[in-house]
A = this chain, B = another copy of it.
Amino acid sequence: MTTETGHRRSGGSDARRAARLHAHVAREPFLTRTLAPVEVLGDEGLSIIEENADTILQEVGLEFRGDADALRLLKDAGADVQGERVRFPKGMCRQIVQATAPEVFTQYARNEANHVQIGGRATVLAPNYGSPFVRDLDNGRRYGTIEDFRNFVKLAYLSPHLHHSGGTVCEPVDVPVNKRHLDMVYSHIRYSDKPFMGSVTAPERARDTVEMARITFGAEYLEDHPVILSLINANSPLVWDATMLGAARAYAEANQATLLTPFILAGAMAPVTAAGVAAQTLAEALGGMTFVQLVRPGAPVVLGSFASSMSMQSGAPTFGTPEPALVLYVMASLARRLRVPFRSGGNLCASKIADAQAAYESAATFGPTILAGVNFVLHAAGWLEGGLSIGYEKFILDADQCGMAAVFVKGVDLSENGQALDAILQNGPGQHFLGTAHTLSNFETAFYRSEIADNNSFEQWQEDGSLDAAQRANAIWKRMLREYEAPPLDPGIDEALLEFVSKRKASMPDSEV
């Protein structure tokens, strides 16, 4: 992001662009927590939930639907398989996952400055995922298109506060369902050099994603470099379906990473209580991660949790409530105990627009996301109305919050300069610090500077048009897109990718499933 507001000019704008590129390189590729994660339960409470998850896995088990290979694998590993129902002896899943799943791994980007660490003290912030609709202040709400998709890839690339290009940032509804993934993956590779996510809507689309990654990175490179991270959602309660199992298998076979995420609307797909949601989430995720480790031991997996509350009147999902925040903290602790990376949270809201509701709700999830030490954060920017829509203005507002999190996680500087004792001792009572040497030498980096917040006087704000935050964000995303320049991509790779996309598209008729 830049601070200037003028139109594109040739001379000065080159210099500014160079400065931005430089700033880009200097930025950190992911957050590294220095603070201990916040825990809302002690060891005893967490053990109870783990024990409950084990009881669920043993007594009810999970269904692995429409995938005979999966059932065979699980049976061979010691599970009790009856039809599609798979019951796991206590401790089996934990043992299999802990034996081979990495505690921390790197997802590689085509720009090495953008490699991200998944797990440990790292937090990686990725944009919104999966919305069929897009929204901006000029055109309101409408179905997403491939142009919108490209726009969000460009915005995530340009934002210093996002570490990842994400996956289905919005659904490009103008492209047939069975061909969308080709345009989406191509866009991530072509318009960004941050790491990205793969298609999961069918096993062959996952394989297409792997093929395109092989074209980009080289087939051998992929064998020991995860370059794709993909979202495998459970069909809660207690079901993994054929599509997700097939996609997970395709990525695992290629040693690519998966997020195994029970997606739970508490009260519908799980009980209404935090401890109940946590136990069921853990059981489902353990089953999914076990499957992946059996397909390819050591393939990177991330324990995912997506839990929302619901309106008990209408059944609609609700966001920003305290209950899912408690679930998030508990699940983060459980993942640490299991020693696998954790995915959850984001800037989630039910609001249709980027108003106070949206911001309050988003902060109520994003705060816990950061404090719990979530390792991979989908939906860190753009999410509106329960994920049905991604907003251009919301994206900009959220990214600003991501920037603040980067400062917060560094904690308190206790260096001599941070203590500033001499500065205080040398300054008498009643003497301000505005011009002191300490203030001047810390001027540039003292405080996070938001691009969106208006801190001017009321009179100045009024003179500037009495704009709200969304209106200011509107100007920012437009300027970013206007000034966007694609990162370099080897023309041979680009050509090969385009050829692959074109061949695959030609190989099948359009389909809306």
A56 interface neighbour in B45, B325, B424, Cβ under 8 Å: B424
Closest partner residue, chain B, to A60 (CB atom): B425
A458 interface neighbour in B269, B352, B424, B425, Cβ under 8 Å: B352
Given contacts A85-B429, A434-B315, A469-B355, contact A407 B322 (CB under 8 A): yes
A276 interface neighbour in B314, B362, B385, B419, Cβ under 8 Å: B419
A425 and B56 contact, CB distance less than 8 A = yes
**23 A-B interface contacts by CB (under 8 A):** A38-B371, A40-B412, A48-B414, A237-B431, A237-B432, A238-B430, A266-B446, A268-B432, A271-B438, A271-B439, A272-B433, A272-B446, A273-B419, A276-B418, A312-B447, A318-B447, A318-B455, A321-B448, A352-B461, A355-B470, A356-B468, A356-B470, A360-B469
Number of interface residues of A (CB under 8 A): 124
On chain B, the residues within 8 Å of A424 by CB distance are 52, 56, 60, 237, 270-271, 276, 279-280
On chain B, the residues within 8 Å of A40 by CB distance are 35, 411-412
A323 interface neighbour in B63, B272, B447, Cβ under 8 Å: B447
Q: How far is the CB of A473 from chain B (nearest CB, A)?
A: 8
B85 and A413 contact, CB distance less than 8 A = no
A323 and B407 contact, CB distance less than 8 A = yes
Q: How far is the CB of A428 from chain B (nearest CB, A)?
A: 7
Binds B, one of A144-152, A251-259, A296-304, A397-405: A397-405
A468 interface neighbour in B276, B312, B355, Cβ under 8 Å: B355
Decide yes or no whether A357 CB sits under 8 A from chain B.
yes
On chain B, the residues within 8 Å of A364 by CB distance are 363, 367, 401, 404
Given contacts A363-B364, A420-B276, A446-B312, contact A412 B41 (CB under 8 A): yes
Interface string of A68-106 (1 = CB under 8 A from B): 000000000000000001000000000000000000000
Closest partner residue, chain B, to A277 (CB atom): B420
Interface-central residue, A351, A363, A418, A438, by most chain B CB under 10 Å: A363
Decide yes or no whether A481 CB sits under 8 A from chain B.
no
A320 interface neighbour in B311, B325, B404, B430, Cβ under 8 Å: B404
Given contacts A447-B310, A454-B350, contact A55 B414 (CB under 8 A): no
A272 and B60 contact, CB distance less than 8 A = no
On chain B, the residues within 8 Å of A273 by CB distance are 413, 417-420, 442, 446
B59 and A412 contact, CB distance less than 8 A = no
A63 and B315 contact, CB distance less than 8 A = no
Chain A 260-299 residues near chain B, CB threshold 8 A: 266-276, 278-280
A419 and B52 contact, CB distance less than 8 A = yes
B267 and A429 contact, CB distance less than 8 A = no
On chain B, the residues within 8 Å of A195 by CB distance are none
Decide yes or no whether A316 CB sits under 8 A from chain B.
yes
A269 and B433 contact, CB distance less than 8 A = yes
Q: How far is the CB of A267 from chain B (nearest CB, A)?
A: 6
Decide yes or no whether A457 CB sits under 8 A from chain B.
yes
Interface string of A128-148 (1 = CB under 8 A from B): 000001000000010000000
A429 and B239 contact, CB distance less than 8 A = yes
Interface string of A333-369 (1 = CB under 8 A from B): 0000000000000000011111111111111100100
Decide yes or no whether A408 CB sits under 8 A from chain B.
yes
Decide yes or no whether A123 CB sits under 8 A from chain B.
no
Q: How far is the CB of A320 from chain B (nearest CB, A)?
A: 7
Closest partner residue, chain B, to A442 (CB atom): B272
A385 and B425 contact, CB distance less than 8 A = no
Interface string of A359-394 (1 = CB under 8 A from B): 111111001000100000000000001001100000
Alpha-carbon distance A314/B436, docked complex (angstroms): 16
Closest partner residue, chain B, to A403 (CB atom): B322
A237 and B430 contact, CB distance less than 8 A = yes
Q: How far is the CB of A410 from chain B (nearest CB, A)?
A: 9
Decide yes or no whether A192 CB sits under 8 A from chain B.
no
On chain B, the residues within 8 Å of A219 by CB distance are none
Q: How far is the CB of A401 from chain B (nearest CB, A)?
A: 6
Q: How far is the CB of A134 from chain B (nearest CB, A)?
A: 13
Decide yes or no whether A456 CB sits under 8 A from chain B.
yes
Decide yes or no whether A13 CB sits under 8 A from chain B.
no
Q: How far is the CB of A414 from chain B (nearest CB, A)?
A: 5
On chain B, the residues within 8 Å of A414 by CB distance are 41, 45, 48, 275
Decide yes or no whether A453 CB sits under 8 A from chain B.
yes
Decide yes or no whether A421 CB sits under 8 A from chain B.
yes
Decide yes or no whether A309 CB sits under 8 A from chain B.
yes
Known: A316-B457, A360-B362. 16 other contacts (CB 8 A): A35-B40, A52-B419, A55-B425, A56-B425, A270-B433, A272-B420, A273-B446, A274-B413, A278-B412, A312-B447, A312-B449, A322-B448, A323-B407, A350-B454, A350-B455, A352-B458
